Amino acid sequence: MTKDNPAYTFSMQVNYGKYLEFAAATGFKPKPEEDNPVVPPTFLATAEAWLPPGTWPAGEILGFDLKRSLHGEQEFIFHKPIRVGDRLTGRIWLESTFSKTGSRGGEMRFSIWITDFEDEDGNSVAQSKMTVLETGSEK
């Protein structure tokens, strides 16, 4: 799976209800007078909720054990603001994998996942880069 052959493709509607739920969960203060407000930068972290239930690329594709896996970090690059009302297409692909020895022994595996987001016209609006790691197995 590559950028041109993604592991998963999904659509997400940035609706006002999800925007308000996100605001309540994160303490973000929405401006009620705005018709189609710009969503907070971290709103795209909710994109995984638009995948089919039980979908987890690191486990399904790389065999990571969910009980030993962690969300290591995530960054976002925006090419334009994302607003309530936007309909986005996300394409998830695996950028790289690597491993190293953990401080308590055992091999730690890392995977870097990219999600490219496009608007309805096919224009790139954002990109997410997420690191998933699996800790070494218990001895």
pLDDT in tens, 92-114: 999 999 999 877 778 899 999 99
pLDDT score recorded for residue 138: 61
- Reported as a single tens digit per residue, the pLDDT across 5-22 is 778 889 999 988 888 888
Domain spans of the chain?
8-134
Q: For residue 1, what pLDDT band results from cuts at 50, 70 and 90?
A: low
Using alpha carbons, select from 5, 13, 6, 4 the residue that is nearest to residue 91: 6
Helix intervals (H) in 40-133? 57-62
pLDDT score recorded for residue 139: 54
Q: Which CATH architecture fits 8-134?
A: Roll (3.10)
Where is pLDDT greater, at 61 or 87? 87
What mean pLDDT do residues 63-68 have? 88
What mean pLDDT is reported for the chain?
A: 88
pLDDT score recorded for residue 121: 96
Dig out the tokens for 110 from the structure: 């890392």
CB atoms within 10 A of CB 10: 18
Q: pTM value?
A: 0.86
